[in-house]
Structure 1
Amino acid sequence: MSVQIVLVHGIRTSATMWRSQLAFLEEQGIAATAVDLPGHGSRMFEDFTLHEALHTIDVAVRDAATRGPVLLVGHSMGGLLSLAYVGGADTPQVAGLVAASCTSLPRGAGLSAYRAIARAVDRLPDRGMWITKRILAATIPEETRFDFAAGGYALDTQDTALRSLSTLDLATAVARIRVPLWFVNGQWDQLRVNEALFQRLAPHSELIIVPRTTHLVTAMRPQIFNAVLRLAVAMIESGSDAAVTDAAVMDAAAELERVASREQ
């Protein structure tokens, strides 16, 4: 049975943020699905709740697990939710986790400041969309620049979702995780603030820092992020299929090194 990938988007955006990854995985013959969380994308009309967000991930994981071992991949809020899900009291059917741009505990002064800034931007003309477009134009390659907005921006959901995240016991959840775990952060990502803590809580995890990228690491340098996914798939395959050798893992790791070196 081949590895199945479930992709969970970040706050405000939707499943469309994963277009580059989905295209790459299709080319590689790796099955993948990207979900829309409540209040986002195709579910913009719904209220956001933690219960429904975690239920959405659970439904996708359980379905994918009928076809093979599951690699769960989350970005930002999706990464935090995925960490909470995999590290929950009930061990889910997940064989590995890639948690991108989410090594920060969503609580205290940091979260309060983030919410205050988000609310201030939301009160600007056009709800601050002109700022978002300028930032994306300055930092994101053209081929992935419009993926974040393609499913619409969940502006009305943002503050509710941020407030909900503060109730997660992420420290306990991360410490419970026993499956292969990769933290992927951009060099200039503001959510690296608790990076060392997350590594201490999950000493078996691997940390990958992508140079010259911000919080939007999946879109700024998609080739590197895609190579990380290929490495994670190879690692899971090597543990679940005796026909997959260590050489396959080494090849995937070497490909990640080649891609990263080309883009330095």
Structure 2
Amino acid sequence: MTERAQRLEILAGVAGFAALGAVAVGGAARNLTRQRVGRLDPNSIENFGAIYDDRASIVVADDGVPLAVREVGPPTAPLTVVFVHGFALRMSSWHFQRQALAEVWGDSVRLVFFDHRGHGESGDAPADTCDFPQLAADIDAVLRAVVPDGPVVLVGHSMGGMALMALARRSPELFAHRVIAVGLIATAARGIAETGLGKGLQNPVVDAFRVSVRWVPWVVEAGRGVSRQLVAPVLSAASFGSEFRSPSLGQFVESMIQHTPIETVVNFLRALEDHDESAALPVLATVPTMVACGFQDRVTPLANTVEMHAALGDCDLVGVPDSGHLVLLEHPDEINLAIMRLVAGASRSGRGR
């Protein structure tokens, strides 16, 4: 292990002790948008919905669920980067990556984004399809329809990264030929039931929602507003680090969570708690990888990223101080640079040609 990785491992251990207490104070998340209001908001004029104005298409998943897709850059570009968003978010969570990377790469790289089933503008997710094998199948469907040939780089955040691991386990042949690099941001191969998000969601309120969604959905429908108010703080509590100071960005994140159907949130919880894609890491180790995490991530703590890095071969380890789970939004420059390094390195290697 490199000296840098050892330092991050020590930090990960320290962060782990603080995780449970921090997540437990979920009510503080309601004040996120009001934090440090007296300071200048660096994102006050951002149009966080701009990605939905990009070139649009619908990919029909293998079971018939429509998946909303957006593209930037020419279909004839020599390389495509596909971005896979996280739990209870939507493709616009990649706002800063779409803005910066499209400008840097121009016509040389095509960017592809899509909403998971049950999220954003995609179709509803039947309860029995809210699992990682299905998310992997959805990514495969997007690749077949939108990127049928040519080299591909896959980048996933949180649940999106877990879905990429599921894809590697489901279709390892893709990583021998088409997928030339993978970026995993604020995610985990396993173990989130014991720390971070898993601990925060192990409470009677969430258990009651699980039962209601399955057996008495009209109760959830009738109390939809209350449901969001109870569950959203648990999901939002660790979104940002202690130095976060953008009310408009906080409102954007809160809106994404609030507009994710409560059925989607509850139905995917079991998949997240049971998640273990450790078997996918040897497949991912055959291509260049990048793993990134905020030091203050209490959803998928830093220790998870350090563990993945140790299991991967040609892997860039990126730790971001003063950042929570939404490091791609809170500190986009660091993540953009990491993605650019990943793509540049994979392109130089000549894989996928």
Q: TM-score, normalised by structure 2?
A: 0.59
Q: Residue 68 and residue 194 in structure 1: after superposition, are their counterparts in 2 closer, same or farther (change >3 A)?
A: same
Equivalent position of 2:182 in the other structure: 97
Match of 2:200 among 94, 114, 135: 114
Q: Say whether the 8 Å CA contact 1:39–1:157 is kept in structure 2.
A: yes
Q: Residue 8 and residue 209 in structure 1: after superposition, are their counterparts in 2 closer, same or farther (change >3 A)?
A: same
Match of 1:10 among 86, 92, 111: 86
Q: Say whether the 8 Å CA contact 1:140–1:220 is kept in structure 2.
A: no
Which secondary structure does the structure 2 equivalent of 1:153 belong to? coil
Match of 2:244 among 114, 133, 139: 139
Equivalent position of 1:262 in the other structure: none
Match of 1:69 among 133, 141, 151: 151
Contiguous gaps of at least 5 residues in structure 1: 242-264
Equivalent position of 1:51 in the other structure: 133
Q: One-letter code of the match for 2:154?
A: L
| Matches for 1:163-242 after TM superposition, within 5 Å | 163-177=270-284, 178-190=286-298, 191=300, 192-240=302-350
Which secondary structure does the structure 2 equivalent of 1:183 belong to? strand
Superposed CA offset, 1:11-33 (max 9, x none)? 01111111111112221213111
CA apart distance, 1:83? 1.9
Which secondary structure does the structure 1 equivalent of 2:263 belong to? coil
Q: Residue 223 and residue 172 in structure 1: after superposition, are their counterparts in 2 closer, same or farther (change >3 A)?
A: same
Superposed CA offset, 1:201-251 (max 9, x none)? 21332211012111110000111111111111111221228xxxxxxxxxx
CA distance in 2: counterparts of 1:54 and 1:100, whole angstroms = 17
- When Rg is computed on C-alpha atoms for both structures, the one with the higher figure is 2
CA distance in 2: counterparts of 1:91 and 1:11, whole angstroms = 26
CA distance in 2: counterparts of 1:219 and 1:12, whole angstroms = 15
1:24 aligns with 2:100: yes
Q: Say whether the 8 Å CA contact 1:25–1:31 is kept in structure 2.
A: no
CA distance in 2: counterparts of 1:221 and 1:114, whole angstroms = 24
Equivalent position of 1:126 in the other structure: 229
Q: Residue 213 and residue 8 in structure 1: after superposition, are their counterparts in 2 closer, same or farther (change >3 A)?
A: same
Q: One-letter code of the match for 2:343?
A: V
CA distance in 1: counterparts of 2:340 and 2:261, whole angstroms = 30
Equivalent position of 2:4 in the other structure: none
Superposed CA offset, 1:183-216 (max 9, x none)? 0111111322333432232133221101211111
Percent identical pairs in the alignment equals 21
What is the RMSD computed on CA atoms of the aligned residues? 3.2
Q: One-letter code of the match for 1:74?
A: G
CA apart distance, 1:166? 4.6
Q: Residue 165 and residue 221 in structure 1: after superposition, are their counterparts in 2 closer, same or farther (change >3 A)?
A: same
Equivalent position of 2:113 in the other structure: 34
* Alignment: residue pair count: 241
Q: Say whether the 8 Å CA contact 1:6–1:71 is kept in structure 2.
A: yes
Q: TM-score, normalised by structure 1?
A: 0.77
CA distance in 2: counterparts of 1:130 and 1:200, whole angstroms = 32
CA distance in 1: counterparts of 2:328 and 2:163, whole angstroms = 17
Q: Say whether the 8 Å CA contact 1:3–1:236 is kept in structure 2.
A: no
